[in-house]
Each structure stands twice: as structure tokens, then as C-alpha cells.
Structure 1
Amino acid sequence: MGRTSKIVTGGLLVCALVAISIPVGKEVVPGLFPQDQSSTVTTPAAQLPPAALSQVASVSELSPDAPLPDAAALSDQLKEALKYDGAGTVSVYVSDVLTGEELFSADGWTARTPASNQKLLTAGAALATLGPQTRFTTRAVTGSQPNQIVLQAGGDVMLGRDDSKPNEIMGHAGIATLAKKTAESLAGAPGPYTLAIDDTMFTGSTLNPYWPTEDVAAGEIAPIYPMALFGARYVAGELTGPRPHDAPVEVAEAFAVALERAGVETIGIITRSKTPEGATELGSVQSATVDEQTQYMMQWSDNYVAEVLGRMVARKLGEPVTNEGAVYAVRKSVRNLGLPMDTIWTVDNSGLSVSNRVSPAQLVQYLNILLKNPASSAGQELKGLPIAGLTGSLSDRYIEPPSWEAAGVVRAKTGTLNLVTALSGYVVNSDGRLLSFAMIGNGLTDGPAPLRTVFDNAATVLAKS
């Protein structure tokens, strides 16, 4: 990145952070700024940097009288931007959110592998079914054997080793805090204690048969359990690299160390044991909210968190808490939000499988449902969409010309597999019109990077339209 782009990105970050921090209903349109002096006169209010918090525009404030883009001119511009001479198939769909009118379609109704754009559906299902303010509880309870402590999983896979961090999402609930609470409950009771794990909340196979074995080996996903440290990573903030194959054991080992530091001696090997009826709670810690977890999942495209949230949806709906039950539950929840699922094929909730199929037009339909009601529970997922050039999986994109003209303006979910790239989201164009879009490329034998640049340029066309 050149010095100029660093300055531009830094200026945008200030605006974006203000926009992200505002209340629900004011978060759908990020703060923006004019690209040069000549554009200042015509830049709409929705694309100006906020001078104060109260002046940040929201979708509800967008004027229905803002003109629609000229469909013919937009089509010509998009076709030019979407020129791609590499191998593979490309499907694109663009809609006006207010009217639902199709503005552009290039094979837009053809079902494609969406990669992590699948997480759009998972996030909405989790928020609508579980509730944005729901938290998952990890407990230490008395076991069925004398002097036994059972570490009971509750769906929090973002546990930290240290004390709880109330201002963080990852590590919001800390194992050291749980150990201290447990030690306080056991004060005066003779030890030592044995330690067991109850991770029976999830059932069935811990790996989805539709996931490529090479992706599992590469650490794109790990065996799914209802309890893990750092999203089933060894270190907080890691996005690649090896993962633990038995996440609950990692948690239990960290808990044993923390108990020793808190003055509680543990002996023997860690076993698995179902929590007995009438067990006494010794301590508990609670996760970040579902709202916060979905935002993290969307920002960083976390496969593990997506799959766990899907299973928690299944549990809430009384479905089997398995791979299949989670997929069924998310589909049911999304259908209840208003998106027909008859021609959408899903086999997981993270988008890691190449067997998933959804068309760009259907993703746009879904986005329009959220954008028309951003204050709904499901609509909270809009806050988690990465901002071009600023946050999450878009932080290193839109930082070079010509796409940097849309930095801070485009908000979209990315998707990447070896032969797939996808981008779905929304933008307020230069006339103040809210547009939604989805772009999917499959069969990219040259890799996803060249088409990713094409998609960014196409989204920039929408921002300038």
C-alpha cells in the first residue's frame, strides 16, 4: 500500500468507527467522504463524513425520491467492469432495495457455490432464533463421583485462558475467572479433585462429511464441539494454522492450570462425564452476546463460530444438534424470515463445502429483507458486514485505484474457496439510492484473486452510479 492510500484509509477509519458505534437503525450506512474537491458539490448527504453522531444518515432517512440509476447506463458500466478473461463462471445480480427492482443481472438466477456468503443466512438465523442479547454459559459443577468437578459446555467457543474480558468478544468469558469462582465455592473443602468434561450438548459427527479433508487438515475448520478456546484456535486472533482436534480437552487443561493457581489441586486424567441431576453449580462465566458473536463471525468469516451458532439454533428449535439438524434449523429460520429455500441447497452453515448452491439473486432477496427492517433481530447482522478498505475481510481491499473510490462506502460479506470468490452486500450510490448486490464466481482455476479485483471494481461502479 502506498503512502497516499494509507492516508485515505486512515481518514476513513475515523468515520467508520463513529458509524459503527451508533445505535441500532443508525448503523446501516457507514460514514463516507468525498474522493476529491470536484466531487464535493454533488456528493449526497449519505456519503459525507459525519460532523457529529446525530448527523449520520440511516437507511430510514434515505429519500424514496432519490432517482434510480439508469438501468441501461449501469448495465454498460457493469459489463465493462466485469470483463474477465480467466477460466470460470460469473454470476451477478443488482437490485434497488426500496422497490426490489432488478437493475442488473448476468446469470443472476443461476445457483452457484457461495463460499462464506453462506454465513449471511447463518447469522440471520442465529439472531432471529436465539436473540441478539443471548449469552452462552460455561459452568463448573459437582460431579457424580466424590471430589469431582465437571466442566459443563454451554456453546461458548470463544473462551479465553485468562480472566474474563468484558469489553472483548473473544475471551469475553475467561477460564481463569471460572477457576477463581470455583475455588471460592470449594473453600474449606478437602481436595484433591478430579476433572471431567460434559460436552454432550452437541451430538453426531464432529466433522461434516461435505468438508474437504484438505481444508480440515489446513485448519479451515476443526471438529465441532460446544466449548473451545479462541474459536478452536491455540492463540487468540489466529486466522490460519493448526487447530486442536479436541477443543474441550484444551479448555479443561487450561481450567486445571487455572484451578491450581487458584489453590485447588487436581489429579488424574481428564475424563468425560454427563452432568448428574441435582449437580451444584460451583461457578459460571458467560459469553459475549449472540449479536457480538455474529458480528465477529461476519467480520472475520469464522467457520467454526458459524457452525457452532448453527447448532445452537438447532438446539433452540428442538432439532437434533448435529450437522444435519443444524443445517435444517438454519434453513427453517431463514425461510421464516421470508426467503424461499426450495431451490437453495445447503449442506453446512459456514460455506466451507463446495456442495452449497444459491444464486446471487436469492442472496440479494435476503439482503433486501434485512435492509428493509434493519432494526429487527435478524437485521442486526448488517452491523457485522465488513466495510470496504476498513474492517474485517475487506480491510485490505479497496485501497488501490480504481476501487478505492468505494472505500468506506461498500459493505459486503466476502467469500473465498480455492476455486470460488463471492461478494454480497449493499451500497448507497452517489444519488443516495440504496442498492444491494451479490457476485459469485465458480470454477476459477486461475485462483480467486483476479476475479476478486473485478468484483471490487464492479461494486465501485455501483457506488458511483
Structure 2
Amino acid sequence: MTDSQDSQPTQALSRQDAPAGAADAEAPAEAAAPTGLAALIRKHPTAWLAGALGVVFLLLGTGAVFAGIASGSRAPVSAPIADATIPPRPQPSTTPGASPVRTCSVAPVMADPRLANLSAYVVNANTGEVLLDRNGLVPERTGSVMKTLTASAALQILGPDGRLTTQVLDGASPGVIVLKGGGDPTLATTTGTVYSGAAQISDLAAAAMQRYEQLHPGIPITEIVLDSTMWNPSDRWDDSWDRKEQADGYQAEVTALMVDGGRADPSSTVSTRTGDPIGDAGRAFASAAGLYGVTFSTGSAVSSTVLAEVQSQPVSVLVAQMMSWSDNVLAENLARVTAKAMGFDGSSASLAQAIPGALVPLGLDTAGVGVRDGSGLSALNAVSPAFVTSLMQKARTGEANLGVMYNALPVAGVSGTLAGRFTGANAIAAGQVIAKTGWIDTAYTLAGIVNAADGTPLAFMFTSIRDGISSDAKEAQDTLATALFTCGNNLSNN
């Protein structure tokens, strides 16, 4: 306490014990003045009272301790707190920036049942920030969006200026020549081919005949060896493909020697495909060379003497043709040639390593990327929407020749497989969605860049999956892409 207790009044003793032998003595006597301890208590009674109480409590506490010991219980004892060094709380190296609150939701659009089982992934293509993620990290079938991977791989390995070469070589003996395929499916039998500017087999035949006659004057050609051994000629059709794709006109057998992409009608992008692409190439050459009655055999060239050769257009042109109308045959042949150039055998099985391997130098994480073919026709392809959006980000900036692929993508309402899409209410996004379409019997896909109304470029991929999926999914995906165009960087993941 801080207040003084000495000012409180003291009281004299009213009675003292009588001295021994003076019992019953009642005579009053003057009280003697207190001395010693009594005097001290009288002078400071309050202080002594407080002290006395403290002694009482001390004695009671001591008794309790001993009572506890006697009864076998333990009284709580306060241990002294040792000095301890408390480690500093970890601090972030940088202060995180504020994240904008985005309010533009596309959830009602994604609820459209026409989208079937939807996966979607959208990022700001400038910053990489994820704006929308619906199962976007899960590998899914791609449809023809797989061609973006094939094109990117070919551009990395073959280069935009690379060309595919078809040759005629001298045979093992006079009278024999070898027609050797180099993986060019665009070699044309007519100038009216869908592959505008393609090498003509008539030019190859004329040059080869002229050179042969110089080397073997007067000796007629009686045999043409058809060499399609750039990869195994029997490895021409993936067992996960439906054979109706051949009759419907979307896919041909994949051989290193062929003409017109295997089409029955070279002038039509969709045309029934041949069942004998190697034989068709041999017959077309013989006809162009004026060789009638010759026999055909298959095998590998023995001589290294080249009589003539023609080259395809540059890979950059082939990629543009492949992407524009989603040419499956071009995709498969480019994939095989790419694998071969990487040291693989060019088989369909080698694509699983070759295509992802070609993309690793781009800094893309290819773990989990499953490649079954180069065209996307197989439902066994498995690539996540997140991976494709990362590829699209790089393509948009033209990194490592990928601008060739990006510039070849169809444009909404303008070109390629998107020319007739984005109509009606979706027309506001026409010209602003640059994307690759995809379609197989169990999926519709769309992936590319949306140049949003607020100026933000958005990289995206949509995958809609369902057995027997309806073509209505295309319009639903267009509507979703238009919603991205409207939201821009305000796109909410809610």
C-alpha cells in the first residue's frame, strides 16, 4: 500500500493484569506507559496488524503444504521462468500486391447443357494470371487442337523453311528405277489440288526420264520400285481410329509415299481416301512419265544416284494449310517426319516421345502430356487445357517460330474452320477470337486467343466431352468465348 497508516489514532490499554500476589486488588492505579514491543505496536498498529495477518496466512499455507505431503497429494508449485530466446516470426521477402476483385462471371454460360462435360482454362495472356479454371489441369482428349502441338513440334525440329523431298533414284540394274517418298502427302497429280502451289508429280517424272535416258540410253524402264520405308509401310493406320474417317473423307492411311493426300478428288478438302496410297503414287508417276506396261514392286532404294527430286512447299506453308482446314493427313505426316528427324523410327508409337520432346526447349512442362497421333483423331490423346493455353501464350508472342502457327489459326467469322461461326449474338466477337477448332465423335474443343473488349488478350481452351456429342456444342462454345470477350480482365473464377 502507498497510503500512510501512522496518522490513525491509537488507544491506551484499559486494563493490565495485576501483579502476582495482588489478587482482588481493585484500587485504581495510574496506568504505566507502554514500553518496548507494546510501544512499537501502539505507535504503528495498522502496520503490525497487516504483518500479523501475513504471518497467519504463511502458517496456514505451510500447514496446507505439510497436510498435502501427509495425505500423498502434491501442491502446485510455481517454477521460475527461465530466460528463453524467442525466434523472430518469419516475414515475407516481398509484400504481396493487392489482387483485384473480379465481378464478371460466366457461370450461367458454362451451365449450358450443350457444353456437356466441360473443362475450361483461361489466363491473362500478358501476365499468365489464371482467371478461370474448371478442371483445367486434367489431361483430356483434344480433337484437332492436337495439331497445335504437331505444328509447334515441326516448326522447332524441321524449321519454318524445311521441305519434304520426293526422289527418283537409279535402280539396282538398268531398266529399274525407284520412286522414294519423303513424307510429302501434298505431291500433286494436278494443278487443281487443294494444296495450292504443291510440287507436281509430272515435273518429277519429266526430269527423272530425261536423266535416266542420259545414263541408260536405249534401255527401257520395265520396273518401278516403290520405296515408302521412311517409316514402316505397314504402320499406316492407328487402331484407335474409326475406319469410317477414311470413307467419310477426313483421314487417309499414313504413308511416306503418296499423292494428293490420298484423296479421290484432289480438289476437295473432304474426299473419300484411297486404300492404296503407295500404289496410287506409283501409277500416277508411271502415267506422267509415259511408262505403260511396267511392273511395280515395293522395297528400299539401293543406289544413291538421284535421277530427279521435287520438294514440298516450306513447312511454314504446310502448317498454314494444315491449320486452316484442319488437314489430318498433313498433321500425321508432319508428325512422323518430325519424329524421324529427331532420331526416332517415325512410327506412330514414337510420337508419344517425339512431340512432347520437341516442345521441352520451349520451357513447357510436358509431364502428363499423352500423344497418340499427330492429328487429334484419336480419343486416346490426353493434354490438359492448361498446357494448351501456355502454348498459345508463347505462340501469340511469336516465340521460337510459333508465330507461324499462330498466324495460321482460323479467325472467328473470317477464315478457316471458324469462317461460318460466331453469328447472331456472338457476332460481337467476330474477328477477335483466333483459335483452333477440334471435333471427334466424343468431343468438341476450341483453343486460342480472345482479344477482349477491354484490350486484354486471353489465352484459353474449352473441352466438351460426351459420347455422341451434338454439333450444338460448337455454338455453346462460341457463346462462352464471346462471354470471355465481354468480361476481359474482369473475368471471375466464381
Instruction: Tell me the TM-score normalised to structure 1 length.
Output: 0.78
Structure 2: distance between partners of 1:319 and 1:125:
14
Is 1:295 matched with 2:323?
Answer: no
Deviations 1:302-329 (A, max 9, x none): 1111111111111111012100113321
Structure 1: distance between partners of 2:476 and 2:111:
8
Is 1:460 matched with 2:482?
Answer: yes
Q: Which amino acid aligns with 1:155?
A: G
Alpha-carbon distance, 1:339 to partner: 1.9
Structure 1: distance between partners of 2:339 and 2:121:
31
Structure 2: distance between partners of 1:270 and 1:94:
54
1:271-290 mapped onto 2 (5 Å cutoff):
271-278=297-304, 280-290=305-315
Which segment is superposed worse, 188-197 or 309-318?
188-197
Residue 451 of structure 1 aligns with which residue?
473
Distance 1:308 1:181, change over 3 A: same
Is 1:365 matched with 2:390?
Answer: yes
Structure 1: distance between partners of 2:378 and 2:119:
19
Residue 236 of structure 1 aligns with which residue?
266
Distance 1:107 1:164, change over 3 A: closer
Is 1:343 matched with 2:368?
Answer: yes
Structure 2: distance between partners of 1:354 and 1:273:
33
Give the match's secondary structure for 1:344.
coil
Give the match's secondary structure for 2:260.
coil
Give the match's secondary structure for 1:377.
helix
Deviations 1:53-76 (A, max 9, x none): xxxxxxxxxxxxxxxx976333x1
Contact 2:120 2:463 survives alignment (8 Å)? yes
Residue 349 of structure 2 aligns with which residue?
324
Alpha-carbon distance, 1:338 to partner: 2.0
Alpha-carbon distance, 1:427 to partner: 2.0
Give the match's secondary structure for 1:439.
strand
Structure 2: 5+ residue runs without aligned partners?
A: 1-98, 488-494
Alpha-carbon distance, 1:80 to partner: 2.7
Is 1:429 matched with 2:429?
Answer: no
Residue 43 of structure 2 aligns with which residue?
none
Deviations 1:251-294 (A, max 9, x none): 1111111111xxxx44332111311133x222111101111111
Tell which structure's C-alpha radius of gyration is larger.
2
Distance 1:448 1:359, change over 3 A: farther
Residue 420 of structure 1 aligns with which residue?
443
Structure 1: distance between partners of 2:208 and 2:256:
20
Q: Which amino acid aligns with 1:416?
A: W
Structure 2: distance between partners of 1:164 and 1:149:
28
Structure having greater relative contact order (Cα 8 Å, sep ≥ 6): 1
Alpha-carbon distance, 1:452 to partner: 1.0
Q: Which amino acid aligns with 1:419?
A: T
1:45-444 mapped onto 2 (5 Å cutoff):
72-74=102-104, 76=105, 78-86=106-114, 88-162=116-190, 169-170=195-196, 172-187=198-213, 189-193=217-221, 194-203=223-232, 205-260=235-290, 265-278=291-304, 280-372=305-397, 374-398=398-422, 400-444=423-467
Deviations 1:332-355 (A, max 9, x none): 112232221222222112111111
Distance 1:220 1:402, change over 3 A: same
Give the root-mean-square deviation of aligned CA atoms: 2.2
Structure 2: distance between partners of 1:183 and 1:214:
39
Contact 2:146 2:374 survives alignment (8 Å)? yes
Structure 1: distance between partners of 2:297 and 2:139:
46
- Size of the aligned set, in residue pairs, is 385
Structure 2: distance between partners of 1:301 and 1:324:
22
Structure 1: distance between partners of 2:379 and 2:241:
8
Instruction: Report the identity percentage.
Output: 29
Distance 1:192 1:171, change over 3 A: farther
Give the match's secondary structure for 1:422.
strand
Give the match's secondary structure for 2:380.
coil
Contact 1:227 1:248 survives alignment (8 Å)? yes
Structure 1: distance between partners of 2:192 and 2:437:
31
Structure 1: 5+ residue runs without aligned partners?
A: 1-68
Alpha-carbon distance, 1:364 to partner: 0.8
Give the match's secondary structure for 2:167.
strand
Structure 1: distance between partners of 2:127 and 2:242:
40
Alpha-carbon distance, 1:107 to partner: 2.5
Distance 1:454 1:444, change over 3 A: farther
Give the match's secondary structure for 2:349.
helix
Q: Which amino acid aligns with 1:259?
A: A
Structure 1: distance between partners of 2:346 and 2:197:
24
Q: Which amino acid aligns with 2:347?
A: T
Q: Which amino acid aligns with 2:173?
A: Q
Contact 1:164 1:177 survives alignment (8 Å)? no
Alpha-carbon distance, 1:401 to partner: 1.1
Contact 2:388 2:447 survives alignment (8 Å)? yes
Contact 1:211 1:352 survives alignment (8 Å)? yes
Instruction: Tell me the TM-score normalised to structure 2 length.
Output: 0.74
Contact 2:114 2:476 survives alignment (8 Å)? no
Alpha-carbon distance, 1:369 to partner: 2.5
Alpha-carbon distance, 1:234 to partner: 2.0
Contact 2:355 2:371 survives alignment (8 Å)? no
Give the match's secondary structure for 2:273.
coil
Residue 38 of structure 1 aligns with which residue?
none
Contact 1:164 1:172 survives alignment (8 Å)? no
Q: Which amino acid aligns with 2:231?
A: F
Alpha-carbon distance, 1:205 to partner: 1.6
